[in-house]
Amino acid sequence: MILVHIEGVKGDSKIAGYAEKDWFSVDSFSFQVVRDTKESAKAGTDDITIGVGLLEVCEFDKSTDIGTSTLMQYSISGGPLPYAEIHFVQTKEDKSGKQAVFPYLMFKLEPCFIKSWKISGSEDGRPTENVGLWYQRIALSYRAYSRDATGNYVYSAGHDTGWDQTLNSPWSTKLTIPGG
pTM reported for the whole predicted model: 0.86
For the chain, list the domains and their CATH numbers.
2-37+48-170 (2.30.110.20)
For the stretch 35-69, pLDDT in tens is 877 655 566 566 667 777 888 999 999 999 999 99
Cα dist from 144 to 38, 86, 88, 105, 168, whole Å: 38, 17, 12, 9, 29
User: What local confidence, expressed as pLDDT, does residue 24 receive?
Assistant: 97
Q: What is the pLDDT of residues 93-114, one digit of tens each?
A: 777 777 788 899 999 999 999 9
